[in-house]
Amino acid sequence: MEHENKTGYLLLGILSMGPQSGDDINTIFKERISHVWSESYNQIFQIGPMLNRMVLGGLVEKTMERQKGKIYRKVYHLTKKGMQEFRELHSRPIEYQIVRKELLLKLIFGSKVELKYNTKHVECFQVMHNELLKEYESFEKEFVSRNDDPDVRFKIMAVHYCMNESRALLAWCDEALEMLRDMEREHNMNAREVEKIHNF
């Protein structure tokens, strides 16, 4: 139920930006929000039924909007009651969440495998955050150009958080790779010493 409340908050937040169709909501989530908030496939699949419950609860209104030809699409509008609910959910304290970090889990058990595998994992992580940083920087440029957007400063705060996080993680990657290189050098030196003893 608690996770559903957060998904509901997400939907109300997207609708607070203006009327949206189901496709609009999915696009906004994938292109803007998925960088900072993840939803399971099951929760995404439940968005339609959740919107219907919001309509029944008076939080959202649904209209049929005509497109080209005779095709209609469902468009959802936030009601006054829905905005009040959104603001109430927004005012609640944030919760500390433990995020699953697969890379760190693998490094914890890193001594049980060859060093090259640990190095490969960190290098892949480094490439990923270099790409993410470029994407965040493009978001920043886009947001800065939107002088008429009342939410622009808040969006810039959010994207700066993501940019600073990626920069910090890239600095950590440099540190981790240097440590792994030191370990590789030590391993090679020890291997040579063992070989000398065997050949003596």
Is 29 within the bounds of a domain? yes
The pLDDT value given to residue 179: 97
CB 119 within 8 A of CB 46: no
Same domain for 171 and 84?
no
d(CA 49, CA 22): 11
Last residue of a domain, one of 91, 115, 146: 91
Q: Residue 137: CB partners within 8 Å, gap ≥ 6?
A: 163
Same domain for 61 and 122?
no
The pLDDT value given to residue 4: 58
Q: Which of 74, 88, 78 is nearest to 58 (CA)?
A: 78
Give residue-wise pLDDT tens across range 23-70. Answer: 899 888 888 888 888 776 456 557 888 899 999 999 999 999 887 766
Mean pLDDT computed over 152-173: 95
pLDDT, greater one: 118 or 94: 118
Domain count, the chain: 2
Is 36 within the bounds of a domain? yes
Same domain for 86 and 174?
no
Is 16 within the bounds of a domain? yes
pLDDT higher than 90, residue 82: yes
Domain that holds residue 87: 2-91
Q: Residue 48: CB partners within 8 Å, gap ≥ 6?
A: 22
Burial 32-55 (b: 16+ CB within 10 A, else e): bbeeeeebeeeeeeebeebbeebb
Same domain for 60 and 112?
no
Is 117 within the bounds of a domain? yes
Q: pLDDT category, 1, cuts 50, 70, 90?
A: very low
Same domain for 65 and 121?
no
The pLDDT value given to residue 194: 64
Q: What CATH number corresponds to the domain at position 21?
A: 1.10.10.10
Same domain for 111 and 78?
no
Same domain for 195 and 106?
yes
Q: Residue 123: CB partners within 8 Å, gap ≥ 6?
A: 173, 177
**153 three-class SS:** helix
Q: Which of 70, 59, 35, 28 is nearest to 166 (CA)?
A: 35
Q: Is the pTM of this model over 0.85?
A: no
Last residue of a domain, one of 44, 69, 91: 91
Same domain for 193 and 109?
yes
Give residue-wise pLDDT tens across range 126-147. Answer: 999 999 999 999 999 988 888 7
Is 146 within the bounds of a domain? yes
Is 97 within the bounds of a domain? no
Same domain for 116 and 75?
no
